[in-house]
Structure 1
């Protein structure tokens, strides 16, 4: 299995089309071209598990002559000329897929594929800046090093088990579970340690969960607590998420109280 530090193998990986060394970028606009909006993964964070994940990055731009092409790049650090990490789209040399909504305005898109079994490491999780280049038909163009940001996250899972069931009213109910997230260094799901997770309950026949208490995960990501059984309903764990890990809720476990 081949792994790398965040920036250590960029030169080698560029030969595969997944990465390339950065050029000397600077925010600049020539002509009347304007960026209207940039979208990464439909506005959602990029949560990657242990399988490859492909997302779309798009820019909507306008120019009196119409839009010709666009390109994108993700990077980390304080200097785009000397980034800590740099990611380019799939088939980086090909034109973007541009769809015109009028004679002046188009939305141009490219895809990025994140490969946990090849180049992703745990250190890659976090916030990335999104750079955008757009060209118009009359040779107007614009470059924006950090038009927006996106989060690259380690996909999370959360389980729950409440018992015994059925249980007599007023008896002690034990609720367990486990919070795990993708470990891109070892290609397994591993326990997420020392994270606050809410125990929530939804009474049968209702649609809203109420938080009962907050419990921290163990060194292996396990959760365990007790509560008093009162009425029929569903128990679940709810994790709010972090910068590197998305929020997740367990599927409610129904308990029959007799």
Structure 2
């Protein structure tokens, strides 16, 4: 049996109904993400008693999107891999991973469930397995408001291969970032330019707006102007300025040698770091 089959057998219905996308809305307007106890059709006290009487699976590692933030744009669905490593004396039968957003389980406003009905588990040895799933995040649906950008909770669950069907479930196993895709442009002019003359470097920092499904300027953000010489592979920071109320960037520098200018944004909790492609300036 798999985790979901166990849930159905115990509760009489597949409590993981939130696998549908978008997730269903609760009566208070939030996402209906039930607690582990509700999913398994037993009370928390019963779960605690059972946990004390049986050996539970042990989760040693959970990886979301290769340990990189989940970055989502304005239109394309973002599909990413999730996995965990778990062990039990009887071996591992199934695993489950989801991401959810909210201050607690009573106030969930975002939910990203796995695509598969069961995990793909590969045994490392008789007791330990690596289990893999995928999750898809769709802007405007799963990610229906910009306030969902930032830190999400990670749920990890494992079903042992013993007769009791021992289950480990933790809605607060770890956290992971889900972010709004950022873009950055640059233009250095004039080109070519005489040595010692002024170069004007402009650009724009934008990020995905999940509500309008368009890109909008990211305002009041510090962005570094960087330069590398024509024969170098290393950029150095010239100065740092902030974007204006439209996300625009503009500054001036003196022309010295041939090379590339770019803007570099370090990122925030809601928006990933991004570098503009270098713009070459020929200095005469």
TM over 0.5: yes
Counterpart residue number, 1:10: none
Q: Who is 1:153 aligned against?
A: 179
CA distance 1:52–1:215, shift in 2 (3 Å): same
Is contact 1:131–1:146 with CA below 8 Å preserved after alignment? Answer: yes
Task: Report the secondary structure of 2:108's partner residue.
Answer: coil
Question: 1:7 maps to what in 2?
Answer: none
Question: In structure 2, which of residues 119, 136, 149 is the aligned counterpart of residue 113 of structure 1?
Answer: 136
Structure 1 runs of 4+ aligned residues shifted over 6 Å read none
Partner-residue secondary structure (3-state), 2:147: helix
Q: Which moved more, 1:243-252 or 1:215-224?
A: 215-224
Match of 2:235 among 195, 209, 216: 209
Is residue 25–residue 81 contact of structure 1 (8 Å, CA) maintained in 2? Answer: no
Q: Which residue of 1 aligns with 2:62?
A: 38
- What residue number does 2:23 align with? 19
Gaps of 5+ in 1: 1-12
Q: Which is higher, the Rg of structure 1 or of structure 2?
A: 2
Distance 1:89 1:15 in 2: 7
Larger strand percent? 1
Match in the other structure for 2:214? 188
Paired positions, count: 244
2:94 counterpart (39, 59, 69): 69
The answer to which structure, 1 or 2, has the higher relative contact order (CA under 8 A, 6+ apart) is 1
113-122 or 186-195, larger mean C-alpha shift? 113-122
User: Which protein has the bigger helix share?
Assistant: 2
TM-score, structure 1 normalization: 0.88
TM-score normalised according to structure 2 size: 0.81
Is 2:82–2:132's contact at 8 Å kept on the other side of the alignment?
A: yes
How many angstroms apart in 1 are the aligned matches of 2:56 and 2:210? 44
Distance of 2:121 and 2:182 partners within structure 1: 34
The 8 Å contact of residues 56 and 160 in structure 2, kept in 1 or not, is answered as no
- Determine if contact 2:189/2:199 at 8 Å carries over to the other structure: yes
